[in-house]
Structure 1
């Protein structure tokens, strides 16, 4: 069958790979499965219920929930009536809800949990067009309308109307509006058509060498286009999708589901690595020596170089003695991890590849549905430190100033109700300006070097890309978060959030008092520990890039605190404003450079 609209993917699965466990989630301690036919039946019922409610083509319906099958049921039902989904992060504020709901003119809203529902009630308190009657919930919540109540409104007689509407929907029609969090200003509503997403699924699928016999674990937010498009690819390939209960249960769910693939952002892989290092510190001296021997071997791994028989034998032994436990912790069957949304430290990528857990880095943005480039599971066709090759149907070129420019069927329709910002995002000849700086490796692999807006210049005229330095800092067991500063200053410095668990254990090992993080970071011994960690990173940097001063912060940055976007990117302006006093103190005294 021809696939030209996103909802066609579901019918394609039914015809080619009908599944007993197309979707699965855990309820009351057990896994609940929905077959492909269940998926289709529920979405059809919901779609006819929408018609009964008077929902028309082009109407907007918002979804605010953590990942669960109901998210997909509502999403595909919205598509089938020609309406437009407006997904939102559960973690954003009530004020953000209010802005997006009003800007998109949403007619209905689906909330996942009680917390979200309460936040929604605040958001619509003064809304001229949304009331409590327009809200539905996925969980059973007192005084709220449960989503299954809508199924009672389903009307089989409307199925013919539904078919006519589906047939009228064109590939170029609006599929979804995704409001990007951004690091500054109000969110922008990215308009993506069915064609944008379907073309991306078909083009990127070549790197997804999995079949209908495989399973995926999903935990990245479905409201983010990365996980949503990957979900569409899973449906297309007939891969079963299991939803993790929450971020705290990922480890347990990996062992239960034993997936063959999952997606991750670099911060998740960094946290996995931090936990592994922390656990290694508790091993016996002999076991520790074995662990760090294996780790050293993995750090040398290179997809493009055969290091010889002796190295290969040692790495094989390390995989049998040490890294097999890593793979077991991921369920034992993971073929690869798809990583995106931000830059992954190449050192970390080498370690995982060396441990027979290939990390496939890709690159994209919401405005490109999202995939622009994708890494290959074939190590001979992948270079660590790059984000792979440009996918079929997409064009990429590097502008004179190093900015990555993109064209293709995956490029957005524009920003909703914002023609001015849309025009600013494209060149005069129609190339999308990504805002990222990049370069080619061997003429065909793309390497991202930094964000255009994040590169800063010191007062000495030297340009510094902060992200690679920050990624190296975060490889330290003792560093949870880091931001490099120094624009128009004489030298770069760093704001650092310690990894509290590791620091507490270190203090206890050293016989130092530990009451809390605020008390610990003032200890001279702790300051010296972090200076040594920074010195290790400085060894790899040019003189003008070296971190000359740092400050330890007692509070982790968060989405709720306004320091991180929902995709865990740093809101540099917010952080700089919040810690202005610390920054002023750093630069109050002149330091020799």
Structure 2
């Protein structure tokens, strides 16, 4: 489907809406492979559009038979699988609203979302640690277990579908009708239910495809970031509906390299933390200085690039993108030298993830590029906040009219909460969060995000946080990657301390005096989704960092050591 089908203003053509796209592929490409699903033990299963729609129609028939009122909320708790997509389609076919939950949530959060959304039924799929999640499912809530779900007593997918009467015909849902409620992971507070319609998703993917013309029915993507997150939902689910591309699913973290090798994606999207891990993996096998030398040698440099990208499973990639958090400029430049320029995208759940992006072939490290077609943006002259307006904006927060009102300006612009600046070409530079700014005891404000972009570039650092409200100088807290943590535990602390101290000196050399870090603190406990330090998309929760470590700040700074171990 061409993005020229829309003027990028509402109304959008009915042919672009999710259900109409499903019927299109059901009619025109029933035997084309839509998805490739790993089943475990090296076994994979190809699923055609015909098979997907047959199962979606059967599940929709089952849902209709339950007698739920139209527009009922049906929840999804699963890692990414083909049955996640089929369930979403079935919910829409049956006239209901899908409520996807992150597959890493704690029981308390699961309960809060299921109760707040008034979910009538829960589809339980592939999960790790389900024994800790199960307590969050309210007693009496009907559940259905998909293939690959953990052991449970729920009705099984195949059994439910075999007894169901398939939904027939081609029921449609209007553009302005609610399609889904996406509860934001959030770096602070209780998750909020972001409401999106069929129209907001359709407009957003069309606007995205207008910017990137490298996605079509021959595209291959590996789906591994949570489908409950807006980036994966828009790019993978609605991208597939729009283009008919083939989606491969990852099996596990342990098999991720093999999953990439199997899919050989032509389009690959990831969060900065994974792009950093890829780089660190390459550096572990070849010293960075040696790689730099080899890449500069004619002919040999091309061979090395191909070999490195082949080892990553990205040698067929024609479009690489990063988002969900700022990409360090030095990291972007490293991938560009490797022959894999990364398009940086910027967006949020509240605007379907579609706001700004750098132009393919025109890297602008340190910025997130220019607005997508149809997106308006401005910067508040009072506090530097980025504000956006487009037809892909959310309908509001579910059951939260006051929060919804606070999220928009009086003239209808969305408050992003991000601070930004424009360069001479109109590219947007994210300078931090409006509420992330903190003031030192010297009365100077510090924006942590740009400093963190530099701090995380040490080869042993996987994640970091710059903090220090009311201290004389800010400090950096870092989490080591597994390899560095293991080396430190086995007697390698001295060398690592020296390396981190040198890194601290180089970072401080380019900062203003009031921004310079007093010290780097290395934490021993990994930051995970389970312990609440990071979100499912690997953003560090600053409020959680403060809870865990703020009582130590004065002592750390008072030690007058460049590198400390927490």
- So what's the TM-score if we normalise by structure 1? 0.87
Alignment match of 2:388 (pick from 406, 413, 416):
406
Aligned residues: 545
Task: Answer yes or no: is the 8 Å Cα contact 1:219–1:247 preserved in 2.
Answer: no
Structure-1 residue corresponding to 2:64: 51
Structure-1 residue corresponding to 2:4: none
Does 2:557 match 1:552? no
Structure-2 residue corresponding to 1:495: 477
Q: Give matches, 1:40-189, under 5 Å.
A: 40-113=53-126, 115=128, 117-124=130-137, 127=138, 130-131=139-140, 133-139=142-148, 141-156=151-166, 158-159=167-168, 163=170, 166-167=171-172, 169-189=173-193
Shift of residue 268, structure 1, vs aligned partner: 0.5
Q: Give matches, 1:234-245, under 5 Å.
A: 234-245=240-251
Shift of residue 176, structure 1, vs aligned partner: 0.5
Alignment match of 1:265 (pick from 262, 271, 274):
271
Change (3 A) 1:417 1:132: closer
Distance 1:289 1:269 in 2: 19
Structure-2 residue corresponding to 1:474: 456
Corresponding residue SS for 1:178: strand
Shift of residue 586, structure 1, vs aligned partner: 2.4
Shift of residue 7, structure 1, vs aligned partner: 2.1
Alignment match of 1:213 (pick from 196, 214, 218):
218
Change (3 A) 1:208 1:154: farther
Change (3 A) 1:421 1:470: same
Distance 1:17 1:135 in 2: 29
Distance 2:293 2:127 in 1: 49
Task: Answer yes or no: is the 8 Å Cα contact 2:121–2:141 preserved in 1.
Answer: no
Alignment match of 2:374 (pick from 369, 393, 409):
393
Shift of residue 111, structure 1, vs aligned partner: 1.4
Task: Answer yes or no: is the 8 Å Cα contact 1:184–1:571 preserved in 2.
Answer: yes
Structure-2 residue corresponding to 1:384: 365
Change (3 A) 1:174 1:119: farther
Distance 1:233 1:339 in 2: 16
Distance 2:92 2:251 in 1: 26
Does 2:229 match 1:227? no
Please list every run of 5 or more consecutive structure 2 residues that lacks an aligned counterpart in the other structure: 1-12
Task: Answer yes or no: is the 8 Å Cα contact 1:361–1:374 preserved in 2.
Answer: yes
- So what's the TM-score if we normalise by structure 2? 0.90
Structure-1 residue corresponding to 2:8: none
Task: Answer yes or no: is the 8 Å Cα contact 1:43–1:77 preserved in 2.
Answer: yes
Corresponding residue SS for 1:584: helix
Alignment match of 1:425 (pick from 407, 422, 434):
407
Post-superposition Cα deviations, 1:224-281, rounded to whole Å, max 9, x if no partner, equal 0110110211331121001111233221111122221121001000010111111224
Change (3 A) 1:496 1:394: same
Does 2:18 match 1:9? no
Q: Give matches, 1:317-356, under 5 Å.
A: 317-322=300-305, 324-356=307-339
